[in-house]
Amino acid sequence: MRVTEPVLVPLWVLSAVLLGAGVVWVLFGVPDDYQQGSTVKIMFIHVPAAMLAINTYAVMAVASVIGFVRRHHVSFLIAKAAAPVGAAFTLVAILTGAIWGEPMWGTWWVWDARLTSVLVMFFFYLGYMALWASIDEPDKAQDLSAILCLVGVVFAFLSRYAVHFWATLHQGASLSLAEGQRVDDAFRIPLYLMIVAFYVLFFALLLLRTRTEIRQRRLRAMKLEMRQA
């Protein structure tokens, strides 16, 4: 807690500055795409949100495994704190994807492999949060929720790689280290800025929510102690 205290406010300030600069750049400085028109501006929130939707689940899975192996309570609390953040980013990715899909694909939604696996991952986020909330005993809640989280890893994996396994309406990755640069600098640089801004916001939220979870756990322990005394 002492280590994270001085980091929190700078993280919030940095995320506000980066997000503000990114949104202004995208809305006022980025040109329309020759095929997609102004809908290309949706990419700058859809892509970072989708990346974080999947990567937040990976954070939860890693934290759950560490929690299981080391019996480390804070790891479970990090996973718990990350879940609403990941669910929010997944919701943003699904909503912006649908809004982008309507003019470009001619449909809001298709049951293709990537879209469906992201939707199932969203339900795993909701199920994970519901399971934590429905069990009073924290030790039991953390173990059962971690098992559910690890079961859902397959859908996080499919959300990322479904476009490689099956023919989907959703396109493959535009930003790829392996396949080189396929996006013009006019779009790529502001996209990187928005990705960094979303990640800084993610870390600010994760840190804040983890500190809250630790405080709530301490409070519970203190109340139990006082009752027993």
Partner 1 sequence: MIDFLVTDRYAIHVATSYVGTAVVLGWLIVASVRAGIRARRALEVAETERR
Residue type, 70: R
Shortest Å distance, C-beta 42 to partner 1: 5
Pairing of strands 180-181, 175-176: antiparallel
How many residues in total does the chain contain? Answer: 229
Any alpha helices (H) in the chain, and if so which ranges? 5-29, 43-70, 73-105, 113-134, 138-151, 153-165, 185-228
Interface characters, 50-89, with partner 1 (x: CB under 8 A): ----------------------------------xx--x-
Site for partner 1 in 182-201 (CB under 8 A): 201
Structural contact between residues 57 and 156, judged by C-beta atoms closer than 8 angstroms: yes
Q: With binding defined as CB under 8 A, does residue 5 bind partner 1?
A: no
Residue 73 identity (one-letter amino acid): H
Min CB(27)–partner 1 separation in Å: 7
| Candidate list 64, 96, 142, 159; residue touching partner 1; CB under 8 A | 96
Are 200 and 1 in contact by the 8 Å Cβ rule? The answer is: no
Residues found near partner 1 in the complex (CB under 8 A): 23, 27-28, 37-39, 41-42, 45-46, 49, 84-85, 88, 91-92, 95-96, 99-100, 102-103, 201, 205, 208-209, 211-212, 215-216, 218-219, 222-223, 225-226
